[in-house]
Amino acid sequence: MRFSVRISTIIYMFRRRMKMGGQFRNSTWDPILIISQIFALQFVIYCTLGIWNAFTTAIAGLPRSLDCLFSYQYIHVRDNTGQLVITSFVINSLTGALALWFIVQRTKQCLDFSATAHLIHLFVCWSYNGYFPVSMSWWVLNTVCLAIMCVCGEFLCMRTELKSIPLNMGPKADL
C-alpha cells in the first residue's frame, strides 16, 4: 500500500513539474525529477515484464518463477521455453518504449533512460545469479531490447514533440 502511494506521488509530482513554467521545456537540471523518472520507468518495465512472462509461461505450461526474468540459463533458442522468454523480453521492450513516451517525453533522453534501465537490469541479474553474465544470448537479447526500446521510444517522443510545432505558416501577403 505504501509503495503504490509513493509511486503515485512521484508520478503526480512529475506531471505537475512538467506543466509548470511558461517555457516550452524546462532546461534546468533537476536530479529529483530524473531519479523519480528512473524509478518509475524501472517499475513499469519490471511489472510489464512480469505480466508478459506470466502470459508466455502460461502458454508453455511452465511454473512461474523469477528465474525466467533474471536467470541467464532461460535465455536460449534451443526449445520453446527459451523462445517464449525471449519473446516476452522483446514485447516488453515495446512496452518500455511506451513507458518512455509517457514518463520521459523527450527524444534526447530516450537513449539515456533506456541504457540506464538495462544497466540496472544487468546489476539486478548479476546480484540474483551471483556472477557476471557470460551467456552470449543474454547479451544479444538485452542489446536488441535496448535498441528496440530506444528507437521506438524516440519515434513516439519525436511525433509528440513535432505535434506542438505548427508547420503551416498560412497565406503570405504580397507587398
Q: Where are the domains of the chain?
A: 34-163
pLDDT over threshold 80, residue 41: yes
pLDDT of residue 18: 53
pLDDT of residue 87: 92
- In the chain, what's the furthest Cα-to-Cα distance? 76
Average pLDDT, the chain: 83
Read off the pLDDT of each residue in 116-143 and give the average, rounded to a whole number.
Answer: 94
Nearest-angstrom CA–CA distance, 67 and 57: 12
pTM for the whole structure: 0.76
Average pLDDT over residues 74-94: 89
Question: Average of pLDDT values for 26-40?
Answer: 85
Q: Which residues of 20-51 are buried (b: 16+ CB within 10 A; e: fewer)?
A: eeeeeeeeeeeeebeebbbebbbbbbbebbbe
Q: Work out the percent of the chain whose per-residue pLDDT is above 90.
A: 47
Q: In this structure, which amino acid lies at residue 36?
A: S
Q: Using an 8 Å Cβ cutoff, are 17 and 33 in contact?
A: yes
